[in-house]
Structure 1
Amino acid sequence: MKRLLAALLASGFFSGAGWAQDGGVWLQVEARPTLNQAQARARAYAGRFDAVSGYALGSGWYGIALGPYDPSEARRLLEELKSSGAIPGDAFIADGGQYRSRFWPVGARGDAPGAGTATSPAPQQAAQPAPEIAEETSEPPRETLAQARAAEAALDQAARERLQTALRWAGVYDAAIDGAFGAGTRSAMADWQQRNGFEATGVLTSSQRAALLGAYDAVLEGLGLEAVRDEEAGIEMVMPTALVGRGDVEPPFVHYDAKGDVAARVLLISQPGDSRRLAGLYEIIQTLEIVPTDGLRGLESRSFVIEGTDDSRVAHVEATLIDDAIKGFALIWPAGDEGRRGRVLAEMASSFRALPGALEPAVLPADDAPSVDLVAGLRVRRPLREAAGIFVDAQGHVATAAATVEGCGELSIDGQSGATVLVEDEATGLALLAPAGKLAPRDVASFRTGAPRIGDKVAVAGFPYGGALPRAAATFGRLADTRGPGGEADLRRLDMRVQPGDAGGPVLDMGGAVLGLTLPGDRQADRVLPEGVALALDAETLVAALEAQGITAQRSEVRDDQTVQTVARRAGEITALVSCWD
């Protein structure tokens, strides 16, 4: 080992070639559960090495680290020192994100690792095996696999779920948070160990758990996450109180505005209402400037979720109909800070609690869309009508409702004018359009033929506000019948409320496959459908019309149910905006 460290010294590794003035990484050699133990271990390492630092890790643990080093050299040094016995076998590379207040060297100041310029970490003398501390402060040797399993078995349910949550946050786990350490959790643990320079046993030692949880908690430092009880809104939830403070009350919102350098905002949503007013609020919120237009949207009978992102911000809005009140919140966060945003959002959502009371209702239209002029801020040329269509192939051909294209002097698809009508069938209510030029859809529909199950959950995508929103919005309901109200075999009856801008859009199952095309109403002019009932042209008729035009339709035979957010995103990708001009 003396020869090893002498070689490292001669190679210039400790003299500056491998040293990282900033952006470096650390070799975390140990973690201890008490400050006294950690100080003793840091003192022992400092007798062998320069550049020894100690940092609080959170959760009551303290880490001892060497460095920082250049990332390209750190892994080589880690393996060499571990193989020589100069540092423990479970030492690992840390990026410093989990380090909090600094406790070593004694008297050192500053909580940000690497904030100052460190000196070269040369050994002070020929290295010995990992330093030992005096008997009165010595700890048991590194945990064996059996000891790690025993320590893990002592964890309660909450601690086990928290560990799975931290693994998910670390990007190695995507299964249920259930506290059951099955094959998925074991694989995630092994993946995390391998990424951090440990032996991949699939069982975390006590110090490895401390390092993982310390990193998980470190991103929340300085945010002031505390429960806020807003009696006026009738909402209690955790908020980043160091970043936002209560501002104006403008029903249905209570504003919590940024009070520092971080451009974060929170809106509490509160007003009396029913499902109709919930749907109206869902549409209006999408027109707000603070909610970027690019992102998923999903509306169900008693709740909605809206997400939007652009180069400057990420917005998440959710609201639920609870008894006779609509309660929810919006989190607006700067773009590029997903680690903290995701944690804050999870804390807010999990702590949300509706209290009695609500803000007085604002004057918000529950049925009618706000003027496009007001949304855009300018008077613009408006089409005769705008509705939805379905991208059916990669060339940009679109299926839509025949009523959408009736009497049009000009047609456009997603803003590209000059589209032509290939088929306009009044009997089925179907029209097929060809784009004027090259048009690359985000994705194309995959059709599920055959009779779907009555009562299945379905989604309809469309443009209730036309061109005011560049992405289709999804509304969720149920399949009421596999035939029309008059027994029509080529129709599907839906138990849901659709708007004129939804006509021509896709009806999707929860696997994301298209079951049909939304029609604007009953094909017989002398019949009016009751409210909450909609009709769709079935997928078989659609596919036959496409094949008659030489268009090969994609088919989906296997159904794999997805989340509401995933289906809403899929709906937005295959739905086109069809505009009719005079």
Structure 2
Amino acid sequence: MTALAAQAGAGRPRRTVARGALACAMLVLAGGVAGAQIPAAAPTGPNPKLEASRKAFEALPETERKSIQDALVWAGTYNGVTDGSFGKRTYDAITTFETRAKLTADGILAPQERAHLAHAATRAREAVVFRLVTDPVSGIRIGLPTRVLDKSSQARSGTVYASSRDRTALALFVADPAATLPELFDKLGVDGPPTRRVSYKVLRPDFLVVTGTDSGRRFFTRIAKGEAGLRGFTFTYPDDAGAAFDKLTIAITNSFDPFPARPSGGTAPTPAAPPAPVAQTPAGPRLVGTGLIVAPGRVLTTAAAAAECPAPLIGRARAQILRSSAESGLALLEAGAAKAAPVAPASREPAAGDSLAVAGFAEAPAAASGGPSVPTLGVASATVATEQPALRIIAPLQAQAGGSPVVDRRGQLVGIVAAAAAPRRIAGVVPQTSYAVVPAATIAAFLTAAGVAPAAAEATADGLTAGTIAAAWAPALVAVECGPTGSP
């Protein structure tokens, strides 16, 4: 078996800890369903307050933007990635903090308000004595709440930090050099014993995440891919620990550096005094959805993506909207795309409970240089929630998932994800949520009316893995983007 070290519980014998750690890390991709959420309607226009908050936030240096987001995590109002990019989660976190602090909730943090936020974050951070450490075994650099995790033990592939008071633990590990993320995603995506339930799983080109509960404890596992191999961590804590430990999960995840440039440790940096605002280069293109190449030069996406961006970009080049239908929820773009996807309806309609796969683009973190982010292609498993004609799926999809193809386990198209609001993230990832799907039959009718003949796909044997499906569909998928803030 792959040699992964994973979660440990305080009070267990070391051998039992290692065995439990191995099981947790190996079974990182089992499916779970959370409460369904009906997607909200697409916004009809810009929010002036949000745009004013965006302008003020993006006028700050990148390091200050990241520092604000980190402080908002410790203030308990932000549960996203501290990458310095602005979005509705950052806006909501700022206004929530302002409301709690009895400040003007306008989403704009004046210098004195940023100082107040930094002070509140420092108090919360020091309450758990949060320190950056570099594990001598795995080489991972990560934030450690040393007051909570006050003892440690070394395993063959990493160090386990645990609490002497309860069953809280942080296990760091290195995977077998022969292991790959898709193999872990496909081979290990099974439920464990009755006491262990996975509530979320996702695979991306450079990482995977799984969360759930096991024997009365919550767990959060993240494994990253790099030139040095696969490294990851599992954080576990009592299921009844409350929001304080959810906040710690976010802070630990955002501090996770699996491949640090050089060993480092000691105290986590305290946010510096806010510098004066400076002008910044406008943000780069933003992702609005995924496009499916249905014929040479023709890309299918959602009508909502076309409405949000009248002059979309594909491959960072302008694309033309040829046809858009609010009734079907689909749009057809003209772009320099070559390989067409087989988009004729699947020969077998999905039934409730069927296992599917969703492939699409997600917004990647901004480049280290501060440049614009580049969308990355990923895949997630899904389950049919309701059947035709009101087809819905339950899946852990990222923001801007509209247009992503939904494929059955024989490799045939079931439909594409309809436009949907971004769900609430937990520690930078999203839970299982209900999404509407535009059925393949509707797609075929729309394309026929537009003069595009849908190509059929031959069904393979049932049981294709999500990784196999993603590899087969990747050449026919493109990111649909919109220009920088202030451009069409």
- Which TM-score tier does this pair reach, normalised by the shorter chain? 0.3 to 0.5
- TM-score w.r.t. length of structure 1: 0.35
Structure with the bigger RCO (C-alpha within 8 Å, sep 6+) is 2
- TM-score w.r.t. length of structure 2: 0.41
